[in-house]
Structure 1
Amino acid sequence: MRKSLLLIYLLPLVVYSQGVDPTYEREYKRGAALCKAGDFAGAITVLTPLTARKYTHSLAPFAHYYWSLAALKTNRLSESRQMLMQLRERFPDWKKMDDVRYLLADIAFQEKQFGEALDYTEEISNVSVKKESETLKRFYVYKLQDMAYLKSLNRQHPSDKTVALALIDMIQRTSNEKSDLELSDQLTNRFGAVAAKPSTAVSPVRQGNGNLRKGYYNVAVALPFRLQEFSPNQRVRTNQFAYDMYEGMKMAKTKLQQEGIVVNLFTYDVGNDPEDMLNVVNNANFTQTDFLIGPVYNEPAKLAADYAESNGIFYVHPTSLATDIIANHPNTLLLQPSFERQAQQGFDFMRSLPSANRKLAIYYGATRRDSTLAASYRNKANEAGYQTIDFRKTREKLDSAATVTEYNKPGHVVVFSSTESDGMKVLNMLTKRRLTVPILASSSAFNMQNIVPSALAGREVYIIDTEFVDTSKQQVRDFQTNYLTKRNTIPSIYSMQGYDALLFFGRLLHKYREQLRSGLDTRIYNDDYLLSGFNYRSSNDNQMVPIVKMDDMRWVLANGQ
């Protein structure tokens, strides 16, 4: 969706308020502000009475428009369309009618009414809106995999270049029929070569004056530094991860400079207040940003994802494991593997072990993270035809409550818990029941640093450890030495994550520039990084999920990533 519309219409409110009841104007501004902040349900509540037919002044069509936009954002497509049609009926001469056509096209595309959507895009005459509607059109049309439907659209809209190019691409990829190849030749002669894939495969072209061929790259770091609370004498802070991550980025900046890649770091103090992020995106200097790392809190992160999408840059969320924010934001990436990714790869690894037993037991801790991982793992197992014979929380008395026995034996056991004693609790229960089966656990279920190897003797224990550091790697030892020399402290995992993130994305920006999505899809990047590396092929979360095991008194990779 064309998210930049929010910023367009919120600026000149006073211009349109002449002759308007002050109460109406106040409520309109409140509703528009709620829409801008992402509170779409609140915006609908405030704006609903302002769309009554008795209002005919210059702010009324804007109230209709924002109501429709909020309804579209909350997937109320039919209601959004009805309000837009009411706007067209009551204010046919509204000078922003092309924006209405854009939203109607978006709704029609989402409802698979491609012919209707194309009709709306053809009616758009405003140059700026037309350009964005072409991007919208490419996004949906290139997703079509039905050649007969594409041919039908081409017959209905013979002058539409996007439809023609999508049809050429599909014919060349999937058909050897003589008639199809002749059609492809005809369309190629008329429209030229096949265009590059849209935003699902290639990042959008930057708007405005900024570009990625200027010889340097501006990276914005929006983390909760809480500068107002900063004290140089305070050794440990609740937000220490932000400072550690930034310190790692500064060291990566030096490394990149040695490789001939110039990166400028700009820091922004963004906490959990969405106003923090609004202030950032409205900062004139921020428009020169080429890449964004952070923010981490939910509402500011949504605004950052919207901004990145509207401005053709990429945004990396450094801490989230939930896929909500990347669902409708192709330019938003998760630095970490999501819950679903960890569960899927954990299950794939366990079922690759030599065992014919398709039963399993899952035990999980008290946090939302624990239950989310457990539920996701069970779903993956059920989809593959496995049977979950025990699924319960670790806070129960497992010695008496667990249902696994020698006669009801699982092929493997899973432990997802944020309590480091729960791993041993499950191991002890299995020992008492004389069950020796492979175990998969989250790293937080054990005290990974102090676990006694003998406690795992005779056991096949595998750990999902997204923060695994292989201290045998030379680059890890070099980084630790350099960090200790410069910062007089041992680097934390966040320092290493910040270093890896900037080193990786700085290199990709330099090599692929506007085609960064293509670079992400090219291959797995696991060399020269402190942690496990990066894999974004056909995904927006990092697919690198290290699974480790104890070998000769140290943890080593078991899944060979």
Structure 2
Amino acid sequence: MTFFSMGRQPLGWLVAGLLLTSPALAQTPAKPRPATPASTKARPAAATTPAADAAARYRTGKTQLDQGNYAAALQQLAPLAQPSARFARGADAAYLSAVAAARLKEWAEAEQLLNLLRTEYPTYPNLPDALFLQGQVSFEQEDYDTALKTLDAIPQGRLTPEREAMKTTYLARVRDRGTWQRLLRRYPDDALIGRAYAEHLVFGGAYADADRPQLDELVKKFNLDRARYTPRPRAAKKSSYSVAVLLPFELNDPSWQTVRKNQFVTDLYAGLRLAQDSLQRAGRPLQIFAYDTGADTLTLKQVLALPELAGMDLLIGPVYKSGARLLARYAREHQIVCVNPLSQDADLVLDNPWHYLYGPSSATQGRVAAQFALSAFGAGRPGLLLHEDAKDPTAFANAYKAAYEAQGGKMEVLRRFNPDVVESMTAAFTGLNLTTASHLVVVSDNRTVGPQALKVWRQQPTATRPPLLAPGSWLDNPRLDISQLNAPGQYFVQPKYYDEYSPGYRRFRQLYLQAQRLPPSIYANQGFEMLLYFGTALFQFGPGFQAGLAGTPPLPGAIFEGQSYAGGAHDNQVVPIVKLNNLEVQVVR
């Protein structure tokens, strides 16, 4: 094992960001105020709305939109967009309603509103912005032909950089070879499409020898850099592999505050080292090279400039979001698989075949939880879903709602709230019709949310109380007594569940105690399981193991319930759902 601590040296590194919203929305939303409890489904006005009332609703809807309360904004604005409302600013209402629906990822509803805008208000002066948004909506629904045609309909000279950025981003997500060939036939002179397909072949792991003539033609036709677009030889299996671990050890700051703050990093690394020993004993030798990336992206950039990093077989890290995209980009460009050990952000691996999340993303957790709810609670009655107004809970909620409704269920209520604002919390939990609900989902790790949710839930008589589905973090919430979580009908999404009495964990714990003189933390568990799984994949499939993992069925873990990247997934698809039974945790899915 080799350890490197980086000093500070000047290094140039450019990271380009993409803004995929309409320029009309390129503003920083104000801190959300309490959301108005409402369904995301807007209903057209049944009759003409009086002008004064319509103007007031329009102002309210715009304010809600600016504050990030998209469901409430959609409820206010969508009826005003209907021709029957005869509202003077109906076109603006249609566009802003579509914006709100898009922010909620209600793509079908956004498309309907944009079609309404183009049909009923063809002279709308902000039509280029609407076309730009409709391009995004079509891309999100994987309707690439409509998306490209819509973007081409924007007048020349308008939103040109934004259109190119959108096309580049969404084309990078295309995986199907047939779709690529169809796009190349229909748009033979589009340089962005040609370059995107070349990127897909060379950096997306899709290249085969039969693709060389077409790749050569694209390089010549669009004057691409031949050195960049020459596929590297496929890495063969080896007798030993090198793994780079890029973590913020912060060795240049030995203060107790930093040491304590970084204990989780130390634990994670200790788990990796123990997995290295286990693989070594199994005849699978790995060399770990640890790099201190510090707490800022500058140090990470310095590490990425080291020549030896390009010769690694696997990259692990980082733990902070600020550096995740940097390392993901490096992994793609150098065609080295990178595993993020802690992130739940599915966007990190959305268009990068060389990047994996060790755990399940928030979106995968939401999708799996919805599948469980349908099988356990049925789809005969509507569900209720409340979620914190933050990235991961919102991703969970959107995926849950989409999966639940795609399979015949209905979510009657979808509310977002700010757990730090009392009024927002109160509004979210007020007026819930628990009597007729099939189940209640609450998505927030904030310690104040669990007590509030249980208070409202337990006020409902037991006979008519719907099941409650909540994050597994509630089981460790010091503000909740374990007896409060033991009632019938309570279920928890617990991706980090492991059985303390299983032989695998007990053996790991014994080895860890011998090495560290301390019991393992959850981070040590994760480090051990992560390297054991991906290290085994290296020896089984070689450094380019994406296809191998895609065809491997779910496997039980040494500590956790299991790992699965079947079907080309780039985050773990195994998401345990648990409940307490006589104060003992029981896996129900």
* TM-score with structure 1 setting the length: 0.63
Partner Cα distance (2:351, 2:231) in 1: 19
Q: Report the equivalent of 1:423.
A: 450
Q: Structure 1's 403 and 283: CA in aligned 2 closer, same or farther, altered over 3 A?
A: same
Q: Out of 500, 504, 508, which is 2:537 matched to?
A: 508
Partner Cα distance (1:74, 1:525) in 2: 36
Q: Report the equivalent of 1:346.
A: 369
Partner Cα distance (2:439, 2:509) in 1: 37
For residues 442-474 of structure 1, give each alpha carbon's deviation from its aligned partner in whole angstroms, at most 9, with x where no partner exists.
Answer: 022343689655434552111011111211211
Name stretches of at least 5 consecutive residues in structure 1 with no aligned partner.
1-29, 42-69, 79-107, 125-129, 143-153, 164-203
Partner Cα distance (2:287, 2:238) in 1: 12
User: Are 1:221 and 2:245 counterparts?
Assistant: yes
Partner Cα distance (2:565, 2:309) in 1: 26
Q: 1:237 is paired with a residue of what secondary structure?
A: helix
For residues 486-508 of structure 1, give each alpha carbon's deviation from its aligned partner in whole angstroms, at most 9, with x where no partner exists.
Answer: 21212111101100111111111
Q: Report the equivalent of 1:254.
A: 277
Tell me by how many angstroms 1:380 deviates.
3.4
Q: Structure 1's 290 and 438: CA in aligned 2 closer, same or farther, altered over 3 A?
A: same
User: Are 1:369 and 2:397 counterparts?
Assistant: no
Q: Structure 1's 137 and 307: CA in aligned 2 closer, same or farther, altered over 3 A?
A: closer
For residues 501-558 of structure 1, give each alpha carbon's deviation from its aligned partner in whole angstroms, at most 9, with x where no partner exists.
Answer: 1111111100110451122112234335211221111211111111111123211211
Partner Cα distance (1:262, 1:244) in 2: 22
User: Are 1:327 and 2:354 counterparts?
Assistant: no
Q: 2:351 is paired with a residue of what secondary structure?
A: coil
Q: Structure 1's 450 and 529: CA in aligned 2 closer, same or farther, altered over 3 A?
A: farther
User: Are 1:290 and 2:319 counterparts?
Assistant: no
Q: 2:560 is paired with a residue of what secondary structure?
A: coil
Partner Cα distance (2:516, 2:164) in 1: 46
Q: Out of 552, 557, 560, which is 2:587 matched to?
A: 557
User: Are 1:267 and 2:290 counterparts?
Assistant: yes
- Kept in 2: contact 1:398–1:429 (CA 8 A): no
Q: Report the equivalent of 1:487.
A: 516
Partner Cα distance (1:388, 1:141) in 2: 48
Q: Structure 1's 321 and 242: CA in aligned 2 closer, same or farther, altered over 3 A?
A: same
Tell me by how many angstroms 1:281 deviates.
2.3
Q: Out of 145, 165, 170, which is 1:74 matched to?
A: 165
Q: How does 1:152-163 map to 2 (within 5 A)?
A: 160=213
Partner Cα distance (2:201, 2:451) in 1: 57
Paired AA for residue 563 in structure 2: F
User: Are 1:315 and 2:299 counterparts?
Assistant: no
Q: 2:284 is paired with a residue of what secondary structure?
A: coil
- Kept in 1: contact 2:561–2:574 (CA 8 A): yes
Partner Cα distance (2:397, 2:355) in 1: 25
Q: 1:415 is paired with a residue of what secondary structure?
A: strand
Partner Cα distance (1:214, 1:138) in 2: 19
- Kept in 2: contact 1:463–1:549 (CA 8 A): yes
Q: How does 1:237-252 map to 2 (within 5 A)?
A: 237-252=260-275
User: Are 1:37 and 2:15 counterparts?
Assistant: yes
- Kept in 1: contact 2:371–2:403 (CA 8 A): no
Larger RCO (CA within 8 A; separation ≥ 6): 2
Q: How does 1:372-451 map to 2 (within 5 A)?
A: 372-383=395-406, 384-389=408-413, 391=415, 393=417, 395=422, 396=424, 402-405=430-433, 408-434=435-461, 435-447=464-476
User: Are 1:279 and 2:302 counterparts?
Assistant: yes
For residues 321-347 of structure 1, give each alpha carbon's deviation from its aligned partner in whole angstroms, at most 9, with x where no partner exists.
Answer: 112221221110011111110111001
For residues 43-72 of structure 1, give each alpha carbon's deviation from its aligned partner in whole angstroms, at most 9, with x where no partner exists.
Answer: xxxxxxxxxxxxxxxxxxxxxxxxxxx989
Q: Report the equivalent of 1:463.
A: 492
Q: Structure 1's 367 and 115: CA in aligned 2 closer, same or farther, altered over 3 A?
A: closer
Q: Structure 1's 116 and 380: CA in aligned 2 closer, same or farther, altered over 3 A?
A: closer
For residues 147-206 of structure 1, give each alpha carbon's deviation from its aligned partner in whole angstroms, at most 9, with x where no partner exists.
Answer: xxxxxxx9xx9x94789xxxxxxxxxxxxxxxxxxxxxxxxxxxxxxxxxxxxxxxx999
Q: Structure 1's 397 and 118: CA in aligned 2 closer, same or farther, altered over 3 A?
A: closer
Tell me by how many angstroms 1:405 deviates.
3.8
- Kept in 1: contact 2:203–2:335 (CA 8 A): no
Partner Cα distance (1:239, 1:359) in 2: 44
Identity %: 25
Q: Structure 1's 527 and 136: CA in aligned 2 closer, same or farther, altered over 3 A?
A: closer
Q: How does 1:157-236 map to 2 (within 5 A)?
A: 160=213, 207=232, 211-231=235-255
- Kept in 2: contact 1:382–1:388 (CA 8 A): no
Partner Cα distance (1:532, 1:308) in 2: 28
- Kept in 2: contact 1:389–1:410 (CA 8 A): no
Tell me by how many angstroms 1:424 deviates.
3.8
Higher Cα radius of gyration = 1
Partner Cα distance (2:205, 2:399) in 1: 33
Q: How does 1:97-176 map to 2 (within 5 A)?
A: 112-114=183-185, 135=202, 139=206, 160=213
Tell me by how many angstroms 1:245 deviates.
0.7
Tell me by how many angstroms 1:477 deviates.
1.1
Tell me by how many angstroms 1:235 deviates.
9.1
- Kept in 1: contact 2:291–2:303 (CA 8 A): yes
Partner Cα distance (1:489, 1:76) in 2: 51
Tell me by how many angstroms 1:74 deviates.
2.8
- Kept in 2: contact 1:217–1:262 (CA 8 A): yes
Partner Cα distance (2:545, 2:476) in 1: 39
Paired AA for residue 230 in structure 1: P
Q: Structure 1's 397 and 316: CA in aligned 2 closer, same or farther, altered over 3 A?
A: closer
How many equivalent residue pairs? 410
Tell me by how many angstroms 1:386 deviates.
0.4
Q: Out of 535, 546, 557, which is 2:576 matched to?
A: 546
Q: How does 1:11-90 map to 2 (within 5 A)?
A: 33=12, 36-38=14-16, 74-75=165-166
Q: Say what the alpha-carbon RMSD is for the aligned residues.
A: 4.2
Q: Structure 1's 464 and 385: CA in aligned 2 closer, same or farther, altered over 3 A?
A: closer
- Kept in 2: contact 1:276–1:300 (CA 8 A): no
Name stretches of at least 5 consecutive residues in structure 2 with no aligned partner.
1-9, 20-160, 170-178, 217-228
Q: Structure 1's 219 and 75: CA in aligned 2 closer, same or farther, altered over 3 A?
A: same
Paired AA for residue 215 in structure 1: S
